[in-house]
Structure 1
Amino acid sequence: MLQFKLEDEEGRQAALERYDISEPRIEPFERITSLVKAVLGVPMCAVTFIDGDRQRIHTRQGFDVAETPRSASFCQHTIASTGPLVVPDARRDLRFSDNPFVTEGTLSSYLGVPLTTPDGYNLGALCAMDTVARQFDPAEIELLARFAALVVEELELRTIARYDALTGAVTRRTFVEESKRVIDRFARYARPGALLLFDIDHFKSINDTFGHPAGDDVLRRVAQVAEETLRPSDMLGRIGGEEFGILLPETERADARACAERLRQAIASLHMPELSGRGISASFGLSCLSGFVGSPEGWIAEADAALYMAKRSGRNRCVDAGALDEAPGPVAQELSWEI
């Protein structure tokens, strides 16, 4: 690992945020920590991450502390090194002798191996801990390093499963999972949220006329434009084929409409030479959270109904499902809006 990666805290934090560690239980982590605890004969083992000014103890065996200040963690010392951190007796180590876990007798010895990403950032540590002083021999250190590599491998696999390989948008499964979280926040705290579905107009014709490689380029460019248009808190998902979804948490109807129109215009302004002058457009359906939305599937279906009306009424426009509910009849042309 290059030394500057150890000192690049902004890059390290950004690397951590690329990985999906939001789930409270990750079964492979639990199996790994359970094995480490048994094989090394330690009473405690954990997968930890340094996240800003805190240590997140994600998966733990033998104790039940979920979070500590970064300043009070052994892990912050582990991620500052390219190799394992071995502390045979924390009571005699000036770095840790006044640590509250040490002074109260909970932790006396520590072995930690950095969780290093393929691009060289230390996200956290896999650590084994004992209540008594002990020496960890080279074979035990090597064994823990191998288990740490498995933790990183699992993080990578989860990331691959989370994102669509062609466009970089999240997969439908991930999109649905995050939709449920937004719905839950609405139900519990009445926090607003909006969902956009959009579909590239006449995409089959693009594939048939210019070939699938050109169609793939269109998908990539549209996804790129969407990502450039959205806020960091928004989520772009590829729902299937040429259909995308956008989650807009903490967003009221007027702002969601404005976002949809900005993106519609951005897509319509795309120029791709490989399409020989042919333009690109997209149709949008919007659904804002209400008491009638109880599931991700229902929310997506409501936005999809609005998207269907946008396509039926001429494409390259946005339709609000809320306006559909209020309309006296099938007047989709009147339900689209302009900003």
Structure 2
Amino acid sequence: MVDTKLEDEAGRLAALHRYEVLDTPKEAAFDRITGLVKTVLSVPICAVSLIDADRQWFKSCVGLDVDGTARDISFCTHTIKARVPMNIPDAAEDPRFAENPLVTGAPYIRSYLGVPLSSPDGYNLGSLCAIDTKPRDFDPTQIEVLKSFAAIVTNEMELRRIAQVDHLTGAATRRGFTVEVDKTISRFLRGQTPAAFVVMDIDHFKKVNDTYGHPAGDIVLRTVGTKLSELIRSGDLLGRLGGEEFGILLTGDTVEQATETAERLREALETTVIEHDPPIRITASFGIAALDAECLSFEKWLAKADAALYEAKRTGRNKCCVA
């Protein structure tokens, strides 16, 4: 029987991109796994390799000081074509890899063991691989060990994906939002792509909770999340930073464009009647900060936008201020 998921490259790439993990910073959870594999299997190189359209990208790698390779020379692109581990005792004797530049040149791969990393819906996203610079045939026990570690990698990716969405508001969690901000900063450093960070805080939200109760507060947060999501562009990102504070990442926008967007959102929230008995109305304050050389980290950029938000609160609320 044909395994259609192994032949569906478009579906596989869509599944990979749903995890929003490509080009993200190093994370200790994945680095611990590759470090353990290196020790347990006594190999010089181990990597969590994700196969994109034309590249192999390493979420974690020990033993190599690179972020990835071209896909067409990667061993892992062969691993994802099957459901079982790929065990290569001697790459120099394997016609698929004998002339591969990773075999004939640095890092001089001779043996390879890779286990596919499969999503819950059956797409192979990449592999957990153990690599040696001398010929060796990994035994069944070692293969089972790597399969167990690969399952941990897959679970970690799935938990990471789930943790990126705030289930009350539908916005990205602070963690998920931070990941996207880091990507935006990286793009800015490469090509000076403009972007703006908008921070929004619901005015007098404590009074809503004190007057109507926390269930009503949840209704307000859910309504605000839905309204903001409807009004921003598909390429922009809404995140819940904590409590009643939201962040909006506007990619490609100048500070003038971001201010126009913030003002439009402010007006929309001011005129929204939130379904409750009695109906609830709220306003919100906004702080806007353009991405520049002074805020090349999430914390610095947030602090700059927060300073503008504080000014909006200090000078009367229900307004937009620019850092």
Counterpart in 1 of 2:51?
Answer: 50
Q: Residue in 2 aligned with 1:300?
A: 305
- The aligned counterpart of 2:247 is 245
Q: Tell whether the 8 Å contact from 1:85 to 1:113 is kept in structure 2 after alignment.
A: yes
Q: Give the 3 Å change call, closer, same or farther, for CA 7–187 of structure 1 in structure 2.
A: closer
Report Cα offsets for 1:151-199 as digits up to 9, x if no partner: 2233344445554443343444665676577678768976533222222
Q: 5 Å matches for 1:118-267?
A: 118-159=120-161, 162-172=164-174, 175=177, 191-208=193-210, 210-231=212-233, 233-267=235-269
TM-score (norm 1): 0.76
Distance in 1, matches of 2:99 and 2:40, equals 29
Are 1:309 and 1:319, in contact at CA under 8 Å, matched by a contact in 2? no
The runs of 5 or more residues in structure 2 that have no matched partner are none
Q: For residues 291 and 68 of structure 1, what CA distance do their matches in structure 2 show? A: 30
Aligned to 1:6: 6
CA distance in 2, matches of 1:43, 1:104: 16
Q: Which amino acid aligns with 2:307?
A: E
1:94 offset after TM fit, Å? 4.1
DSSP-derived class of the 1:134 partner: coil
**Root mean square deviation, CA, Å:** 3.5
Q: Is the 8 A contact 2:38 2:46 kept in 1?
A: yes
Return the index of the structure with the highest Cα Rg: 1
Give the AA of the match of 1:12: R
Extract unaligned runs of 5+ from structure 1.
323-339
Asked whether the 8 Å contact 1:192–1:250 carries over to 2, the reply is yes
CA displacement at 1:208 relative to structure 2:
4.5
1:116 maps to amino acid: S
In the alignment, residue 301 of structure 2 is paired with which amino acid?
Answer: P
State the TM-score, normalized to the length of structure 2.
Answer: 0.79
1:34 maps to: 35
Structure 1 residue 52: Cα displacement: 2.6
Q: Is the 8 A contact 1:287 1:321 kept in 2?
A: yes
Confirm or deny: 8 A CA contact 2:199 2:247 kept in the other structure. yes
Compared CA separation, residues 57 and 246, structure 1 to 2 (3 A):
same
Kept after mapping to 2: 8 A contact 1:96/1:102: yes
Aligned position for 1:319: 320
Query: Is the alpha carbon distance of 1:218 and 1:68 closer, same or farther for their aligned partners in structure 2, counting shifts above 3 Å?
Result: same
Q: Deviations over 1:210-230 (max 9, x none)?
A: 543343233223223323433
Structure 1: which amino acid aligns with 2:133? T
Displacement, 1:102? Answer: 3.1
1:74 offset after TM fit, Å?
A: 1.6
Aligned-pair CA distance for 1:16: 3.2
Seen in structure 2, the aligned counterparts of structure 1 residues 269 and 97 have a Cα distance that, compared at 3 Å, is: farther
Check whether the contact 2:48–2:59 (CA below 8 A) recurs between aligned residues. yes
Amino acid at match of 2:305: I
C-alpha distance 179-69 of structure 1, shift in aligned 2 (>3 A): closer
Report the identity percentage: 48
